[in-house]
Amino acid sequence: MEVFLDAWDVIIIGAGAAGLMCAITAGKRGRRVLILETSNRPGKKILMSGGGRCNFTNLYIDSDKFLSNNSKFCKSALNRYTNNDFIELVKKHHISYHEKAFGQLFCDNSSKDILNMLLAEAKKSQVIIKTNCTIKKYEHKEHFVIGTCKEKFTAKSLVIATGGLSVPTLGGTDFGYEIAKIFGHTITSLRPALVPFVFTDKFKLISKKLSGISLYARLSLNKHEFYENILFTHRGLSGPGVLQISSYWKEGDEIEINLMPSINCMKLLLEQKQKQPKILLRSILYPFLPKKLVIELQNIWWPERKEIPIAQLPDLLLKELSDKIHNWKLRPSGTEGYRTAEVTLGGVDTSDISSKTMESKIKKDLYFIGEVLDVTGHLGGFNFQWAWASGYVAGEVV
């Protein structure tokens, strides 16, 4: 019988948010925990998140903010390790933070504060983290056997916290899915989520001209809608609203954008037609929309009447233009893909995972946590809260 000198209670593959939380929780229980990380440092995505300030959770966590083939799967973990639990940990380490729109919580200083907090907790729990570890071998005999280029490790429990395919430059990989399949698990359909749209039609020229311009809008798609900022880019559309709706978009879908969601455009135009009959239509819209955007809309929607006073424009035309402003239909040709996607939609099918422990129902002592699972949150701290919660509940039992 082969003997492994480097034996552990738990091996976690992946030193991201979920992996670190799982390690901390298991370590506090006296478990000997080893984290193997393929990149040169732990928590790379944590450092890059939230524009470098880490949107670490949200004040309004609810299961309807998560996408999964099993909408109820995330409830147990989210109820057992809540946003308030993580906020208490942040306060314990004296990390200052602030709330942005929609309950999003960000560090006042830097994402480093959250990562340093997690590393400090891991050290206190005597967790060992090995970086630059490319996994060459994984199998299960009496225990799980993990081999790297130079070393071989064994553990009773194996936790897969490898994340998804998003942002390969920060370590995004299909490694977790491959392990899942080897042990008999099914992977649901995968695609980039929380990702900008790109266009190849005439709109690409418009977006390029407007690149850098942002405005508040309502985006709608397949009965889902979001009221947030959108951002024109040289390739298409980005911004929080676009990232949110992208999780529900599939190739061929048309999105609808209301450029003036808080104003009745038709009522505005008719009122100004009476008050200022000589004014031009674009001048009425300037106070409500970016000037460059108004000019581009004029060029595509009323180019031949752009110098005609509003009094001479028929109400039917005003209604048509108002309808377009409130319901601008655009068909993206695609997204920017995993290169810039914040998360991967889909993952290890939760049908074969315990919602209470994250343990495989197929292979005893095998666990999956975080993004590798078919659980994807909205933008705004939800994916981090899923990482904390799923990591915690697995850490309590491994």
Above 50 in pLDDT, residue 3? Answer: no
d(CA 395, CA 278): 70
Above 80 in pLDDT, residue 396? Answer: yes
Residues above pLDDT 90, as percent of the chain = 94
Average pLDDT over residues 117-130: 98
Helix axes 17-28, 112-124, angle to 10 degrees: 30
d(CA 17, CA 179): 20
Higher pLDDT, 137 or 193: 193
Q: In sequence order, what are the beta bridge partners of 55? A: 106
CATH 3.50.50.60 in the chain is located at 7-190+344-395
Above 90 in pLDDT, residue 369? Answer: yes
| Per-residue pLDDT, 74 | 98
Tell me which CATH code domain 7-190+344-395 carries.
3.50.50.60
Beta carbons of 160 and 369 less than 8 angstroms apart? yes
Classify domain 196-335 by CATH architecture. Answer: Beta Barrel (2.40)
| Per-residue pLDDT, 5 | 47
Average pLDDT over residues 359-363: 98
Kindly state the tokens that stand for 337.
Answer: 């893909």
Beta carbons of 273 and 311 less than 8 angstroms apart? yes
Beta carbons of 21 and 392 less than 8 angstroms apart? yes
pLDDT digits (tens, 9 = 90+) for 77-99: 999 999 999 999 999 999 999 99
3-state secondary structure 261-324: CCCCHHHHHHHHHHHCCCCEHHHHHCCCCCHHHHHHHHHHHCHHHCCCEHHHCCHHHHHHHHHH
Above 80 in pLDDT, residue 351? Answer: yes
| Per-residue pLDDT, 2 | 41
Above 80 in pLDDT, residue 194? Answer: yes
| Per-residue pLDDT, 150 | 83
pLDDT digits (tens, 9 = 90+) for 142-177: 899 999 988 999 999 999 999 999 998 888 899 999
AA letter at 276: Q
pLDDT digits (tens, 9 = 90+) for 202-250: 999 999 999 999 999 999 999 999 999 999 999 999 999 999 999 999 9
Those residues with Cβ within 8 angstroms of residue 176's Cβ, 6 or more apart along the chain or in another chain: 13, 14, 160, 161, 162, 163, 164, 347, 348, 368, 372
Average pLDDT over residues 278-302: 97
Q: How many other C-beta atoms can be found within 10 angstroms of the C-beta atom of residue 170?
A: 16
CATH 2.40.30.10 in the chain is located at 196-335
Q: How many other C-beta atoms can be found within 10 angstroms of the C-beta atom of residue 341?
A: 24
Residue 63: name the closest of 393, 385, 392 by CA. Answer: 385
| Per-residue pLDDT, 377 | 98
| Per-residue pLDDT, 149 | 82
Residue 90: name the closest of 78, 82, 102 by CA. Answer: 82
